[in-house]
Structure 1
Amino acid sequence: MPDEPAIKASPSGPATGPVAKQATRRRRSSGIGAPIARSRFLMIAVAVFACLGLAWWVATGLELVKPIFLPSPASVATQLGKLWADGTLLLDLKASIYRISIGFLIASALAIPIGVLIGSFRAWEAAIEPLVDFIRYMPVVAFVPLSILWSGTSDAQKFLIIFIGTFFQQVLMIMDNVKRVPADFVGLGRTLGLPDRKILTRIVVPSALPGIWDTLRISLGWAWTWLVLAELVAATSGLGYRITVSQRYFQTNTIIGYILLLGVLGLITDQVMKALGKVLFRQEGHAQ
């Protein structure tokens, strides 16, 4: 007599049995929005970077690409080691981190209250939002010569470029974060007799904070881009400046090394902000 099949189907319901349960578990682990274990997430992420590094190593090792176009990983690492040993890399890192910190903090400090204001009051939205929309479509690159004219070639010029590149985007994104606060929350505050000021500080802003934090995290990535743009012109130090100097002497190992370093710095700041967001807004995450 043949074995009983592992999957049993009934006219009134789906198939059951160990095979069906395993298939359901696989769908749950690979479906849209399905969670995966942190260890698996890290393993996949590391594997992607490892595959890209291996492809780079093979392409340069077999001389499929000329070194002037794509230097080997060893050449890049050696050059970064030399720049670190003579203090050049550390000097460039300090200059760039200082500039992006100040420029980003100034932009964020102004964008948060303005974004909350126009996201909460329609009159202020009518007065500010069209102007912000108008300016944010202007290319930041076009402001570089003007920024030099307005503020010279000091760090203030770098702050200004970072500000122009991030502030206007932040304002609109924070406005959207505030508008996503459920109207029932605001209605509850009115039912309790709270004035608008307290509704903003006790209900709207705390409810929008997780979204605002994500906005800051995303816009920080843009700030790194505008930092390099600001340092490509009229600078004497910084990661972007070193890339420009290296271009003149065809030092592609330095260029690629600094580009990779920028990616590492961006990834670190992004992951740090993401981890801080999980700690600061843990209750919101559990509620969702």
Structure 2
Amino acid sequence: MDGFFAPLKPVGPGLRLALGIACFALFFLGWGIATYGGFVRPLFLASPGETLASGWALFVEYGFARDVLITVGRVVGGFLLAAVLAVPLGILMGAFKPVDAFFQGFMSFARYLPASAFIPLLILWAGVGELQKVLVIFIGSVFQLVIMVGVIVGSVRMDLLEAAYTLGASRRGVVLRVLLPAAAPQIFEALRLVLGWAWTYVIVAELVGASRGIGHMIIEAQRFLDTGQMIFGIFIIGLIGLITDFLFQAGNARLFPWTRGR
């Protein structure tokens, strides 16, 4: 056990998978005990079996697959829009201190503004269509991502830059050949984290003025006190997030193989 709990000691892929499955198993075991054992009323928490049955009915009877696709499209649209703006600006802020000094104060101010507070304004400006929901995700993601990318690029080791200058690299070459390759794996990781936040914003956006989507389904289920459908909708979001996490991790390992084993 001393070796098992050694600080920062890597965990093998087999053990990592087993521990992850065990965590899920304990969660569902506790959920089953609480519901099937009668400790929690079904009105407040549906059992795993009831939740699964509700989810099956959503897909078969109510076309829930379309809601899932609509919500995924909103998340991807807002997230990509934020990434296209935030990543280049964050790189400039991290690489060039005057750019950082110009934008830092505003970005630090803007990142504390809750995206949900903009919903009334966005409805006024863009209506209740898809643009409004995409903009909520954009506002909730872009400022956080700019700050994160700027910090990542600005934290690249200075000795790498000095070595590049010693070898005759230009300023442009230092940015393209040193800063970006050194920061790229962490920028990719920042994108993965911000994508998770984007999911929280799309659900908030779908609570107001939406006729389709996972968030709209959850609100409709709440009106009928159907906790099975509500829980299933939440689980679908978590499942999609888990899949995207694995895709980002696989992409990171493939694009930046020198980071394996960290």
Q: Which TM bucket (shorter chain)?
A: over 0.9
Give SS of 1:171's match: helix
Conservation of the 8 A alpha-carbon contact between 2:115 and 2:137: no
Q: Does 1:122 align with 2:97?
A: yes
Q: Which residue of 1 aligns with 2:78?
A: 103
- Cα distance in 2 for residues equivalent to 1:74 and 1:180: 49
7, 13, 27: which one aligns with 2:2: 27
User: Higher relative contact order by CA 8 Å / sep ≥ 6: 1 or 2?
Assistant: 2
Letter in 2 for 1:170: L
Q: CA deviation at 1:144?
A: 1.1
Equivalence map 1:109-258=2 (5 Å): 109-258=84-233
Conservation of the 8 A alpha-carbon contact between 1:60 and 1:67: yes
226, 238, 241: which one aligns with 1:263: 238
Q: CA deviation at 1:123?
A: 0.8
Conservation of the 8 A alpha-carbon contact between 1:136 and 1:169: yes
Per-residue CA deviation, residues 252-277 of structure 1 (Å, 9 max, x unaligned), is 11111101111111111112211211
Per-residue CA deviation, residues 128-163 of structure 1 (Å, 9 max, x unaligned), is 111011111112221111111111111111111101
Q: CA deviation at 1:192?
A: 3.1
- Cα distance in 1 for residues equivalent to 2:61 and 2:97: 56
Q: CA deviation at 1:72?
A: 1.0
Q: Which residue of 2 aligns with 1:62?
A: 37
Q: Which portions of structure 1, spanning 4 or more consecutive aligned residues, are displaced by more than 4 angstroms? A: none
Letter in 2 for 1:284: T
Per-residue CA deviation, residues 76-115 of structure 1 (Å, 9 max, x unaligned), is 1111101111352101111011111111011011111000
Conservation of the 8 A alpha-carbon contact between 1:111 and 1:171: yes
- Cα distance in 1 for residues equivalent to 2:218 and 2:63: 12
- Cα distance in 2 for residues equivalent to 1:49 and 1:196: 49
- Cα distance in 2 for residues equivalent to 1:107 and 1:57: 40
- Cα distance in 1 for residues equivalent to 2:212 and 2:170: 51
Q: Which residue of 1 aligns with 2:61?
A: 86
Conservation of the 8 A alpha-carbon contact between 1:29 and 1:35: no
- Cα distance in 1 for residues equivalent to 2:91 and 2:153: 6
Letter in 2 for 1:129: Q
Conservation of the 8 A alpha-carbon contact between 1:140 and 1:164: yes
Q: CA deviation at 1:34?
A: 0.9
Letter in 2 for 1:199: V
Q: Does 1:43 align with 2:18?
A: yes
Q: Percent identity?
A: 36
Give SS of 1:36's match: coil
Letter in 2 for 1:135: A
- Cα distance in 1 for residues equivalent to 2:62 and 2:182: 46
Determine which structure has more spread, i.e. the larger CA radius of gyration.
Answer: 1
